[in-house]
Structure 1
Amino acid sequence: MKNLNYTGKAKLKPVLILTKLFTVILIIFSCSSNDDGSAAARANSLQVFSGDNQSSYIGNQLSDVIEILVNDQNGNAFAGTTVSFSVSEGTVIPNIATTDATGKALVTWTLGSSIGEQILTATAFANDGTPLIGSPLNILAEGLDLCQILTNTEQLPIGPDAGTETNSIINVSDDFIIAPDVLVSINLEHTFDADLEIFLIAPNGLIIELSTDNGAGGDNYTNTVFDDQASALIIDGIAPFTGSFRPEGVLSGLIGNEAQGDWILKIIDDAGADGGMLLSWSLQLCRS
């Protein structure tokens, strides 16, 4: 009887071991699967839902929020994933976000000071610490210059009859308040510069005197830039006035006015005989 009892106990050990092993397998399986036996959902991939490739003026917030989408292994939206954000420059708010019930994490982006491409990077990880598919993810935006240069290249006659007026228009379609630095550039041909009176007229009717009766009997204004910050005065210049000159009026008087509307370059030929041609002119306006 002792031998039989010993043998019986020996046969029970493998059964107990197999039972415990089967229990462990069941526990592992139940933790990684749903009630129907399918694999439990887990964060799998990261992608841009909306907001990529926007543009705005440097230092300004993009008009649309950035939406990042996290999907599970079956392509369904996945909630509860932490997404971290960083920018090459500027500010992103918040810099850490958790995906909502639609699988999205939303942030706003205020651009930095560089003109051109700027980059926002989103990163997210699975529970085991591995990066999601698509992470890190770069979102691009373009920073626009606060200053714009508009040009009219229509050629118009100047003179030759005394009192003849030449008016050339540049239309500004954007609605913004003018900030420093206003510049006016002109190219014109004329055989007696001292006959000319040149003005800039703003959309609100404000008149800025650029140059009147300067240059004596010299010819032309060639790549002439009117700039309040220039060291040379236009009244001291010599035709063809190539370079930058302070105008007779003050361009900074335009600061704080609205930019939108028609800007007029008015040229008056106040003497007869000599004449010429307006070749082109440009206007630089900046916003804050």
Structure 2
Amino acid sequence: MDCRNTVQRIVAILVVVGISFPVLADPVYTYGGDFNLPILDPSGPGGLMTMAAIEVPDPFIIRDLDVHISITHTSVFDLQLFVQSPFGKRICLNMYDFTEFFEGADYKQTIFDDEADVSIEEGEPPFTGRFRPKAIDPLNRLEVFAGESAYGFWQLQIYDMWPADTGTLDSFEIVITTPEPAAAILLMLGVGLLSLFKPCRDT
């Protein structure tokens, strides 16, 4: 093999890697599913917590995390929603105080996503679509989980603060994006280049 052919093959490999990179970059993993879990209803003001847990068996490093939920409930004003990582970090997804009272039911295919265009405060039940978590403070963002290992039990904590209205947690999922596998791509590229140069040295 002459050097010209070698260069052509190197260029071909770079083109293939360049095309494949967007496909290989940023792997996304989904954990969780259906729960059909009754939400505990308090007998008076003060609230009760219902907790759902998802086990993530993989020690991936988190680059981005979204939370997907569906809840059937006759008054979502009653509910406070939190997600907590295996390492104890917790953020509020949504909650209301007395000044924000409204009537409305259900979260249907609601996705909490830091990159969403709309905050949950701007939404209305049943909150179908993508929303940023409630901005109770500047650090109340899903990005606080970035850099953590995903391994362990993730909790959705639902506090029902008022009696009478009832419901169920229908589904709960976390969607984790991990860093792009750049090191693996470079390793494959290096092995390919070495195999190409070996025939040139032998001629």
Q: What TM-score, normalized by structure 1, do the two folds share?
A: 0.51
Corresponding residue for 2:90? 207
Partner of 2:17: 90
Question: What is the aligned partner in structure 1 of residue 149 from structure 2?
Answer: 258
Alignment of 1:160-179 (within 5 A): 160-161=41-42, 162=44, 163-179=47-63
- SS class of match (1:239): coil
Q: In structure 2, list runs of 5 or more residues that go unmatched.
A: 1-8, 135-139, 180-203
Give the CA deviation at 1:144: 8.2
Deviation at 1:230, TM superposition (A): 1.0
Amino acid at match of 1:169: A
Stretches of 4+ aligned residues off by more than 4 angstroms = 84-88
With over 3 angstroms needed to count, the CA separation of the structure-2 counterparts of 1:113 and 1:279, relative to structure 1, is same
Task: Report sequence identity in percent.
Answer: 33
State the match for 2:107 in structure 1: 221
* Residue 273 in structure 1 maps to residue 142 in structure 2: no
Q: What is the aligned residue count? A: 158
In the alignment, the residues of structure 2 paired with residue 223 and residue 176 of structure 1 have an alpha-carbon distance, to the nearest angstrom, of: 25
Is this contact kept in 2: 1:183–1:226, CA < 8 A?
Answer: yes
Q: Do the aligned partners of 1:196 and 1:270 also contact (CA within 8 Å) in 2?
A: yes
1: CA distance, partners of 2:25 / 2:50: 33
Work out whether residues 26 and 178 of structure 2, in 8 Å CA contact, stay in contact via their aligned partners in 1. Answer: no
The 3-state SS of whatever aligns with 1:89 is: helix
Q: What is the CA–CA distance in structure 2 between the aligned matches of 1:203 and 1:231, rounded to whole Å?
A: 28
1:282 aligns with 2:173: yes
Q: Classify 1:178/1:206 alpha carbon distance in 2 versus 1 (closer, same or farther; 3 Å).
A: same
Paired residue secondary structure (2:32): strand
Alpha-carbon distance, 1:145 to partner: 5.8
The offset of 1:215, in angstroms, is 7.3
Q: CA deviation at 1:267?
A: 0.4
Unpaired runs of at least 5, structure 1: 1-83, 92-110, 116-142
**Structure 1 position 170, deviation (Å):** 1.0
1:233, distance to aligned residue in structure 2 (A)? 1.1
- 1:90 deviation in Å? 2.5
The one-letter amino acid of 2:109's match is N
Q: CA deviation at 1:159?
A: 2.8
Bigger fraction of residues in strand: 1
Secondary structure of the structure 1 residue equivalent to 2:70: strand
Partner of 1:122: none
Aligned alpha-carbon RMSD (Å):
2.2
- TM-score, with length taken from structure 2: 0.71
Higher helix fraction (1 or 2): 2
Q: Deviations over 1:216-247 (max 9, x none)?
A: 22000011111111111111211111111110
